[in-house]
């Protein structure tokens, strides 16, 4: 689990294609690795990666075909900078929102403009994700926890304050930039609960067995 509060900017140091998947080396810059062990998770542009080697100035990670299919990690280039966040520990402050590091889709920046000292971005999300995004709700963009100002269809409006712009890659985004999106996990679970409830209700109706008929026949107390 992560919070979406970026701790450091790293840099892609090496990319190796290995039997159809990817091996990735990230130099972590100012990120403190003293408490990181092999097998720990580090979010890289919002993607949860497992550290399989720790050379001292960064980490190696294996990226599966599943992750490559749902992210833009395969398009990274040596020298490209990335947002980094270590996984939560029990004493961490939850300054953003609950982030899993499991990317839901890739969005595209369709508008950027200055808004006083802030940056205003409009990002187009995949249509399939729009139902999970709400105005004043939370979304993760390349690992950064942000508040959605407003939503129009699949277009979400975001305001980037100067501190966030300085500490992350968001300041570099231009029209056409591709970004990883992770929707609020609560919206995902709410949908699953509602779908399960509807399915159970339909199955009861089809079988003729409902809570009401059970109660009428003495199998349940009203």
- CATH 2.40.30.20 maps onto the chain at 8-86, 105-183
From residue 13, give the alpha-carbon distance in Å to each of 1, 36, 56, 82, 182: 25, 19, 13, 11, 25
pLDDT, block means (10 residues), the chain with 222 residues: 96 92 96 96 98 97 94 96 94 87 97 96 96 94 97 96 96 97 90 72 53 56 52
Residue 22 burial (CB count, 10 A): 18
**One CATH from 3.20.20.60, 3.30.479.30, 2.40.30.20, 2.40.40.20 for 8-86:** 2.40.30.20
The CATH T-level fold of domain 105-183 is Elongation Factor Tu (Ef-tu); domain 3 (2.40.30)
> Contact at 8 Å (CB) between 181 and 139?
yes
Could you tell me the pTM of the whole model?
Answer: 0.85
N-to-C CA span, the chain = 42
CA distance 115 to 218: 66
């Amino acid at each position: 689990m992560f919070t979406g509060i970026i701790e450091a900017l790293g840099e892609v140091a090496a990319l190796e294609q290995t039997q159809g998947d990817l091996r990735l080396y990230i130099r972590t810059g100012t990120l403190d690795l003293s408490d990181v062990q092999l097998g720990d998770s580090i979010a890289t542009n919002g993607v949860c990666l497992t550290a399989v080697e720790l050379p001292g100035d960064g980490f190696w990670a294996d990226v599966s075909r599943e992750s490559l299919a749902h992210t833009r990690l395969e398009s990274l280039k040596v020298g490209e900078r990335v947002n980094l966040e270590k996984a939560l520990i029990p004493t961490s402050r939850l300054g953003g929102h609950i982030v899993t590091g499991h990317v839901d889709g890739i969005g595209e920046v369709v508008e950027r403009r200055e808004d006083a000292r802030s940056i205003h971005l409009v990002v187009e999300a995949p249509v399939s994700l729009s139902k999970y995004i709400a105005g004043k709700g939370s979304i993760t963009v390349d690992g950064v926890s942000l508040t959605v100002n407003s939503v129009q269809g699949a277009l979400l409006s975001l305001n980037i304050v100067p501190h966030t712009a300085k500490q992350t890659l968001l300041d570099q985004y231009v029209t056409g930039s591709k970004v990883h999106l992770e929707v609020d996990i609560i919206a995902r679970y709410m949908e699953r609960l509602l779908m399960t409830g509807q399915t159970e209700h339909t199955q009861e109706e089809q079988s003729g067995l409902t809570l009401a008929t059970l109660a009428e026949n003495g199998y349940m107390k009203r």
